[in-house]
């Protein structure tokens, strides 16, 4: 033999000897203690890196899912009657005259919902009274207590975190964009005028602007710096008000221009929001994925448990986790037999090295699948 992988004819005839093979899989050498420790440390390090990446992605894009449940719960507990939903086809008629103004609630009380169509038709955040960290932790908006209520003469101001699921993209707001507040009975529609950046210590942005009805949004700037040295300020002016019983503002109509991606995101968000009204979405997703994983691995174990072959011992956490998934793949070299050509021999790890094993089935010789083999992880 020339030290290459064995041929089918040699195996059938018994002429091949494993000592003639120079395959790296011919002998298994178990790592020493240092090797095991190195496997353990590197495996844990890579696993922690993967978890950190998932955590970063979840905090950026998935944290909103749980925030929806928190905000919906706050609204329900405060008796908010959402009789009109954003996907309604009925457009409310704008009203003339003085807008109705709700009384200011107690600290952390629920005021209503804020919509910013620039962020998507399904984007809405709960508004609570106060701007304490515990209130903003719900990833909704907090109303500055020293400013007026929505629709009143003066400046009504709100704060929110600069996270992607909250006011992270407030810098994308443009002059003419709508900011809408919904209470139990009234829609208040404001139009963005301008935006600018001020130091964190500048609180003059909360002051009233004379005999005007204005709205101010404040959020940290820059987006990912903690603590942020500045605030991004969005100033909007009052446009009109409407009764919620009459429908929705035209700015929330699904007839507004949108891309297929925005439509898809809006549909997914709507489903998630409907589910989140009853339970936080994260535990449900985790439970569903975990159950599917258990079912899949259980079926694989029942179907292929007799075909699994011994593997070299390892302390690498990632390798052990991966082996749970590879229930259909045996270690070593396995010759791949085409359909109709019977079984192919495999290689099994033993204490003396790698031994070939010929299944008790059709061992017909066929030149069409000579030298066909695969290596399993």
Q: Is 91 helix (H, G, I), strand (E, B) or coil?
A: strand
Which pLDDT band, with edges at 50, 70 and 90, does 156 fall under? Answer: very high
Residue 287 predicted with pLDDT over 60: yes
Residue 255 predicted with pLDDT over 60: no
**Residues 117-123: what's their mean pLDDT?**
82
pLDDT at 172: 92
- Measured CA distances, 239 to 46, 101, 113, 212, 329 (Å): 54, 15, 17, 11, 66
Q: How far is CA 131 from its chain centroid?
A: 27
Give percent above pLDDT 90 in the chain.
27
Peptide bond into 87 cis (omega under 30): no
- pLDDT by residue (tens digit) across 6-45? 555 555 555 555 555 554 444 555 667 777 788 788 888 8
**Residues 97-123: what's their mean pLDDT?**
89
Residue 77 predicted with pLDDT over 60: yes
pLDDT at 13: 54
Domain 83-259: assigned CATH number? 2.40.260.10
The mean pLDDT value of the chain amounts to: 75
**Residues 252-280: what's their mean pLDDT?**
71
Helix residue ranges per DSSP H, the chain: 8-13, 33-57, 63-77, 133-136, 260-276, 281-304, 317-325
* 146/334: higher pLDDT: 146
* pTM of the predicted model over 0.85: no
Residue 215 predicted with pLDDT over 70: yes
Nearest in space to 67 (alpha carbons), one of 161, 172, 158 = 161
**Residues 171-190: what's their mean pLDDT?**
94
- pLDDT by residue (tens digit) across 335-372? 333 333 334 444 444 444 444 444 443 444 444 444 44
* 127/31: higher pLDDT: 127
**Residues 212-221: what's their mean pLDDT?**
94
pLDDT at 48: 87
**Residues 137-164: what's their mean pLDDT?**
91
* 175/68: higher pLDDT: 175
* 189/270: higher pLDDT: 189
Token pair for residue 138? 């719900």
pLDDT at 310: 63
Residue 128 predicted with pLDDT over 60: yes
pLDDT at 256: 57
Which pLDDT band, with edges at 50, 70 and 90, does 309 fall under? Answer: low
What are the sequence ranges of the domains in the chain? 8-30+288-376, 83-259
């Amino acid at each position: 033999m020339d030290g290459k992988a064995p041929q089918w004819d040699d195996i059938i005839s018994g002429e091949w000897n494993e000592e003639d093979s120079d395959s790296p899989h011919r002998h298994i050498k178990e790592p020493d203690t240092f090797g095991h420790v190195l496997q353990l440390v590197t495996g844990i390090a890579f696993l922690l890196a993967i978890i950190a990446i998932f955590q970063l992605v979840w905090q950026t894009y998935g944290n909103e899912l749980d925030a929806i449940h928190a905000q919906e719960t706050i609204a329900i507990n405060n008796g908010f009657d959402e009789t009109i939903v954003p996907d309604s086809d009925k457009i409310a008629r704008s009203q003339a005259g003085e807008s109705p103004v709700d009384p200011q609630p107690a600290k952390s009380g629920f005021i209503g919902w804020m919509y910013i169509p620039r962020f998507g038709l399904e984007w809405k955040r709960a508004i609570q009274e106060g701007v304490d960290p515990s209130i903003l932790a719900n990833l909704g908006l907090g109303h500055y207590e020293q400013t007026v209520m929505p629709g009143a003469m003066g400046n009504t101001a709100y704060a929110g975190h600069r996270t992607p699921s909250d006011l992270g993209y407030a810098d994308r707001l443009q002059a003419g964009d709508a900011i809408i507040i919904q209470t139990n009975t009234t829609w208040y529609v404001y139009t963005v005028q301008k935006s600018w950046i001020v130091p964190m210590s500048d609180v003059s942005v909360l002051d009233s602007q004379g005999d005007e009805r204005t709205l101010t949004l404040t959020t940290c700037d820059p987006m990912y710096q903690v603590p942020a040295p500045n605030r991004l300020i969005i100033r909007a002016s009052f446009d009109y008000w409407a009764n919620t019983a009459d429908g929705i503002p035209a700015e929330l109509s699904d007839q507004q221009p949108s891309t297929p991606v925005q439509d898809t995101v809006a549909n997914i968000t709507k489903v998630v929001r409907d589910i989140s009204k009853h339970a936080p979405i994260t535990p449900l997703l985790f439970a569903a994925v975990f159950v599917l994983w258990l079912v899949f691995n259980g079926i694989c174990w029942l179907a292929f448990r007799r075909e699994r072959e011994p593997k070299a011992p390892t302390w690498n956490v990632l390798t052990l986790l991966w082996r749970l998934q590879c229930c259909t793949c045996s270690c070593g070299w396995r010759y791949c037999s085409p359909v109709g050509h019977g079984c192919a021999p495999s290689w099994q790890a033993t204490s003396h090295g790698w031994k070939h094993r010929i299944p008790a089935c059709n061992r017909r010789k066929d030149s069409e699948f000579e030298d066909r083999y695969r290596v399993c992880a």
